[in-house]
Amino acid sequence: MVRRRDLIHPFLFGIYPVLLLFSQNIHHTKALDMLFPLGVIIGFTAFLLALLGWLLKDYEKAGAITSLFLAFFFFYGYISDLIELLIPVRYEFLLSTLGFAYLLAVYLIIRKRSSLRNLTTFLNLVIVVLVLITLFNIGLSLAGGGDQPVEASTEVLADDAVEDSDAPRDIYYIILERYGAEVTLEKQFGYDNGEFLDFLSSKGFYVASESRSNYLKTANSLASSLNMKYINYLSEEVGQAYNWKPIYEMIEEHEVGRFLNEKGYKYIHLGGWWEPTRKNKYAAESKSFVFLSEFSTSLLRTTAIYPIIYRLHIGPFGRRSMYESSLERFEKLGSIPEEDEPTFTFAHMYITHDPYVFDRDGECLSQEEADNRSVKENYINSLIFANEKVKQLIEDLLSQYDSDNLPIIVIQGDEGPFPRRYREDEYNFDWKDEATKEELRQKMRILNAYYLPGVDDDHLYPSITPVNTFRLIFNLYFETEYEILDDKSYAFRDGKNIYDFFDVTDIVDYR
């Protein structure tokens, strides 16, 4: 009879999928993100092992059944992806087939009269080897992956001793994911966005009609705009390793939040499912409106339960959850004027980001409805609803402030909508040698609108880009002396070379 302490394989079969996923996403994910799923899995494994051991009066059999269940549960997604590469198969058939195979194995284990010592030894050996290989790969990546923190820029920033204004204005920085410029929507999608832009202008917004993102992707763009600088220097500090962590650290530890915190502002952070902006530990109030981290959600996607809860639209990645969390972010934004102290609010909004869950009238699209429409139709429908929500929000916000202390509001796209060829192969698409001018323009021309009360529009200009957003705002409202930088736009070669920046300003400008 095997002693209970020899049954290490059930726990390692539970731990291994977490380590494997972390090793595959080590340059996107913090090690701390593993703690929650590891805790849940270890606790569940101990409970299941104890329960089966008590029922069967045989811990060898309980251990084998537990390990087989964990392997079936966590590797269903990998098996499904592999099979679908060879032959299309409905999830109901695959899930029931694999489930039947598991139950048959359970039956045979229970019926077996002889000792399972050899099986226990084999399972222990196999999973220990797999875990050690994965830990070795993690160690290798950490040792050579450039995870050292990025040093601060040597640029001399504004004097922090500047006196605060007598009546600090609330500041809203609202990022609309993949919201393209007017010319992009007209040329690539056949949609006239003039009515929404006219509304913004009528409310006192300055719409920078020739604005572009400074970088190709959300992470690069936000790291740049929230730190008020270009991040090309990362090419030398990080090298060309595929490592997003230095950029993610810049998004969390950003200069804008630090500056405003020192001015007495309360930092409110409204994130979502994307991990770099899901929460911010430096914010006084941080809400993500989703329970699980992106890492835990990705782990759940590999499991046998995923196809069921996905089609039932439940769980952290169900369409209903995405739908409701987007509306909750708008609701929270509308309540911020009630705060007693001056606030800086960063809000990351996903309505115009796939998977498209909004119809143009605000109804929640089913997966079938979305699948039966083109990407262009889904994108424009979601954009139309986003316009309506933003209009309602602006009306609501402005109505809650006194006329002599209206808020500063910036509504900005972080990047434009994805061109078709890039959407089909994001990781390998070559922006340097293969992308057309139109693809670069679609990807980098953005909405960029400013509500700056008490300030002349003369300080703004049509081609202002996000890197200068807070340089300008701080100069105008806090008497700082930030230099207004040349408005440049940079792309990187591909998903394997994210620090291989090259200048595309002449391509994506509006001349």
pLDDT in tens, 300-317: 878 888 777 766 655 555
**132 and 205 belong to one structural domain:** no
DSSP-derived 3-state class of residue 193: coil
Per the structure, how many domains does the chain have?
2
Helix (H) or strand (E) holding 207: strand 206-207
Q: Pick the closest to residue 441 from 230, 192, 212 (CA basis).
A: 212
CA gap 357, 343 in Å, rounded:
30
**235 and 364 belong to one structural domain:** yes
**108 and 193 belong to one structural domain:** no
**447 and 368 belong to one structural domain:** yes
**51 and 187 belong to one structural domain:** no
**pLDDT tens, 90-111?**
767 778 888 888 899 888 999 8
**124 and 222 belong to one structural domain:** no
Reading the block at residue 511, the tokens are 């001349």
**pLDDT tens, 386-429?**
999 999 999 999 999 998 999 999 999 999 999 999 999 888 99
CA gap 295, 302 in Å, rounded:
11
**229 and 182 belong to one structural domain:** yes
Whether residue 159 lies inside any domain: the answer is: no
Q: Which domain holds residue 124?
A: 4-144
Whether residue 471 lies inside any domain: the answer is: yes
**493 and 384 belong to one structural domain:** yes
- Quote the pLDDT of residue 152: 43
Straight-line distance from the first to the last Cα atom of the chain, in angstroms, rounded to the nearest whole number: 80
Domain finish residue from 144, 159, 183: 144
Whether residue 165 lies inside any domain: the answer is: no
- The answer to whether residues 178 and 417 touch, using CB atoms and an 8 Å cutoff, is yes
Whether residue 14 lies inside any domain: the answer is: yes
* Whether pLDDT at 433 is above 80: yes
Question: For a pLDDT cut of 90, what percent of the chain falls above it?
Answer: 59
Whether residue 204 lies inside any domain: the answer is: yes
**177 and 126 belong to one structural domain:** no
**270 and 358 belong to one structural domain:** yes
Q: How far is CA 318 from CA 137, 297, 356, 491, 494, in A?
A: 33, 11, 12, 33, 30
CA gap 353, 487 in Å, rounded:
26
Whether residue 156 lies inside any domain: the answer is: no
**124 and 183 belong to one structural domain:** no
CATH number at residue 439: 3.40.720.10
**128 and 12 belong to one structural domain:** yes
